[in-house]
A and B are shown apart, each in its own frame.
Chain A
Amino acid sequence: MKRLYIAAALLALLLGLSLVNGWYSERLTGEMREQLRQAQRLAEEEDWGRAEAVTRQVYEDWQNRHFYFHTTMRHSDTDQVLRGFRTVLEYVRLQEPDQYNAANADLITQLELLAEMEQPSVANVL
C-alpha cells in the first residue's frame, strides 16, 4: 500500500504543479498584457517617453522571469515573444504609431496564447 500512496501523492503533486503553473502563467502574462495596453494608451496620447518606459519595464519583467518561461514553455514560443518585445521597443523609440500599434497588439496576443497553452481546459487536452 505504501507504493500506492507514494504514486498517488506523486500524481497529486504533478496535477497540483500543473494547475499552479497554469494560474501563475496567466497571472504573469495578464499583468504584462495590461501594462502593454497601458503603454499603448500613453502612445496614443503622444506620451512616447512614458510609453517606452512602461514597455521597457515589461520587457525587464519578462527577462527576469526568463528561467521560468524557458523551463516551462516551448522555446520557439518564448523566442517569438522576445522578438516581439524587441520590435515593439524599436517602434516605440522611433515613435511610429501604426507599426507600434500593430507590433504591440501582436505581442499582447502572443503573451495571451502563451498563457492559454498552460490553462487546464478540455480544449487544450484534446
Chain B
Amino acid sequence: MFTGFFRTIILYILIIAGVRLMGKRQVGELEPSELVLSLIIADLASVPMQDYGIPLLTGVVPILTLLSLTMILSVLTMKSVTFRALLCGRPSVVIQNGMVNQREMAKNRLTVDELLEELRIKGYTDISQIKYAILETNGQLSVLPYANQKPPAAREMKVKVEEGGLPRVVVSDGRLLEDNLKALGHDRPWLDRQLERRGCGGLSNVFLMLVDESDAVYFAKKE
C-alpha cells in the first residue's frame, strides 16, 4: 500500500512534467494535470479488473491518491498565479502584428504547417490580417484579426436588430415539450393555431418546432 501510494505520487508528478515538456500542442483540450489523470486512471482501473491475482486495493489506493492530488492541484492553481503558470504554462503569442514569432513557435514545437492549418480552420489565409494569434494553455489557437479585418457588428453599422433570444424546442419528433411551451408563455391553443396556420393536422405530423422569445417559429414537417 505504502509503495503504491508513493509510486503514484512520483509517477503522477513525473508524467505531468513530461506532458508540460511536450508542449501545448500535445495537450488538446485538457490541462496537463487533467490529461495525465485521464491517461493513468483508466489503466489503473483496468489492471485489477482483468487480473484477479491482484487485490482491488492496489487499484483503489492509487486512484484515490490521484484524485486527491488532482483536487489539491486544481485548488492551488485557482489560488496561485505562479503555481498555475508552473502547472499549466502561459499562453504563447505566436503571431504579433502580422509577424510570426518563430521563437515562441519553436518553444511550443508548433510547425508552420500546423499554424497555417489552425489559421485556415479559423477562416484566415493571410497572416498579415492577424493582429494576434495566441496558443492557449489547453493547446487551442485564439486568433484576433486587425480591427479593419473584423466583420462589422450591427452596432458599428448603426443598424437596429431585434433580440431573438434562445430558441426552445416545443415539439420534437411528434412529442410536445410542455415545460418549454410554458416557459415561453404560451399554451396548447396557441400551439394548435400555429400548427393549423402551417397546414399541420396534429403533433404527430411535426418533426421539429422551435420557438424563440420573440415568438419566431422554426417549423419542420415530418416526412
Residues on A close to B: CB < 8 A?
1, 3-4, 6-8, 10-11, 14-15, 17-19, 21-22, 70-76, 117-120, 124-125
Contact = CB atoms under 8 A, between A and B. Distances in A.
Interface range on chain B (Cβ under 8 Å from partner): 20 to 34
A72 B5 contact: no
Interface in B56-104: 56-58, 61, 64-65, 67-69, 71-72, 74-76
B2 A21 contact: yes
A7 B9 CA distance: 14
Nearest to B1: A18
Given A8-B72, A11-B65, A125-B6, A74 B57 contact: no
Contact of A11 (B56, B69, B74): B69
Contacts, number: 73
B54 interface: yes
A31 to B, nearest CB: 20
Given A21-B1, A124-B2, A124-B3, A72 B55 contact: yes
Contact of A71 (B7, B53, B57): B57
A120 B5 CA distance: 10
16 contacts: A3-B74, A7-B71, A8-B72, A10-B67, A11-B68, A14-B68, A15-B2, A18-B1, A18-B4, A72-B55, A74-B54, A75-B55, A118-B1, A120-B2, A125-B3, A125-B10
